[in-house]
Amino acid sequence: MTPAEKRVKDNNRRRQQKLERKNDPTKKKRTKQHEDFIKKWSGKPINALTKTEIANALKGFTEQGNKIAKLIEEEKIIIHILDDDDYIKLCMEEYGDTLKQAINTHAFADGVDMYFRSSRKPDIFLSELMHEGTHAKEAFETIEMFKSGKTEAEIRSFFGNNWSSEKRAFFHEHAWQEATGTTKDFDTIEEMLDNIFTNYDEY
């Protein structure tokens, strides 16, 4: 299949999915929920969002989104939305990033804490939250496993290495983008895996 044929096929598939969402009452309601959220917060700094608004915006699209929303509501994983200058300063002073690295890092998770830029568009923020929320969820689950007596080796065997973690995070972000009709970062799983293997260490 040529690149042009692939684009036509992907466009046709997206149109079909959009049509299916419109014809399904449940999906239609969820799609409107997402569109209303985006409309309300477009052009506004996302650091004005409340924890409840963020959690509600995640619900009803994917199982992982529902789980992350619940952990946010229960404050088991924590969202920090910083002004861009403060975000860049944090990356450089606390994590040792260069200015270029800090500018190119749009969001990240450190344990159960997630950090985001206030200037991000609402749809992009929710997509990033699905990714970083997956990491934070696994960090919370790791803590709980330690508490239950699991060893570090057992936990690593369960979760796998960094590539495994990134695969799950990108997969759930991709599934969220598909469910909400948001523009996908990757058209194929192969492209997603290539990004992971190229830009992330295996450790």
Q: How confident is the model at residue 23 (pLDDT cuts 50, 70, 90)?
A: low
pLDDT at 187 over 80: yes
Calculate the average pLDDT of the chain. 91
pLDDT at 126 over 80: yes
Question: Cβ–Cβ contacts within 10 Å for residue 50, how many?
Answer: 8
pLDDT at position 19: 64
Helix, coil or strand: residue 50: coil
pLDDT at position 158: 94
Would you say how long the chain is, in residues? Answer: 203
Q: 51-58 and 122-147 helices cross at what angle (nearest 10)? A: 90
Per-residue pLDDT tens digits for 28-65: 778 888 999 999 999 998 999 999 999 999 999 999 99
